[in-house]
Structure 1
């Protein structure tokens, strides 16, 4: 079952440090652009992933083609893709050893969530961390 209890979601957000944002956009009018800025302002390292703009930079971070390119340990894979594309991203997140997958608002894939949980990942679905962080009072991340 995806995490739904506020305490569990708060704990996930409070312990995470690095977030891969799949479906990141370089366009300021897109929600993923604003969410990435919000997460960075809260102290997370956010790595943008978007094959259409690989090599560009968003909010100072290099944009990668896919999760396999990252090489860094990822705490949360934040999925800004349609529900029908979320499963493939979840499978990549499992393959790279991410600790959790977070499907954004209106992104729902029960089968992908079950695969992630079976592989030991925490799952959040149909929520936005930029909304939950202030709502749950998650403390700002102090970067080392």
Structure 2
């Protein structure tokens, strides 16, 4: 996949088929993009599981915060990543250890690592990087 450009239908299909999202890098600060995007996704009807080891066990926007992806007990359709790009290689290893695997790995704005993306894609995971679902949803889904 060319991660410089995505066909609209690729992103639209992901947003329409996704139901459960693990939001890695969730924040309690309402000024942080991860907080605002989580609220947006919840309002659009997605089930969002916030992930942040420093907040594990607490509540965020009415949802229990998990310390790690492996702690989430239901299958995840999409991993939405609010972490620095240099965290992606280790995070991909954590994602690839999940059973079942998620369908999508989504790196937020400025979150891009082509080698990590290739590793996920080699296992059948769709990858989007340097995009925000809260920006793409209104543009493509309505």
What range is the shorter-chain TM-score in?
A: over 0.9
Matched residue, 1:78: 80
Matched residue, 1:113: 117
Distance 2:47 2:123 in 1: 24
Q: Which has the higher contact order (CA 8 A, sep 6+)?
A: 1
- Following TM superposition, the consecutive aligned residue runs of length 4 or more in structure 1 with deviations greater than 4 angstroms are none
Compute the RMSD of aligned alpha carbons: 1.1
Is there any run of 5+ residues in structure 2 with no aligned partner, and where? none
The equivalent position to 2:126 in structure 1, one of 92, 105, 122, is 122
Distance 2:135 2:89 in 1: 23
Matched residue, 1:141: none
Distance 2:130 2:68 in 1: 22
| Cα drift, residue 25 of structure 1 | 0.3
| Cα drift, residue 94 of structure 1 | 1.9
Q: Check the 8 A contact 1:79/1:89 in 2, yes or no.
A: no
Aligned length: 138
Distance 2:67 2:21 in 1: 15
Distance 2:134 2:89 in 1: 22
The TM-score with structure 2 as length reference comes to: 0.94
Distance 2:87 2:95 in 1: 13
| Cα drift, residue 86 of structure 1 | 1.6
Q: Check the 8 A contact 1:102/1:123 in 2, yes or no.
A: yes
The equivalent position to 1:131 in structure 2, one of 121, 135, 138, is 135
Is there any run of 5+ residues in structure 1 with no aligned partner, and where? 139-144
Distance 1:116 1:110 in 2: 10
SS of the residue corresponding to residue 107 of structure 1 reads: coil
The equivalent position to 1:43 in structure 2, one of 42, 45, 66, is 45
The equivalent position to 1:57 in structure 2, one of 59, 73, 76, is 59
SS of the residue corresponding to residue 97 of structure 2 reads: helix
| Cα drift, residue 137 of structure 1 | 2.1
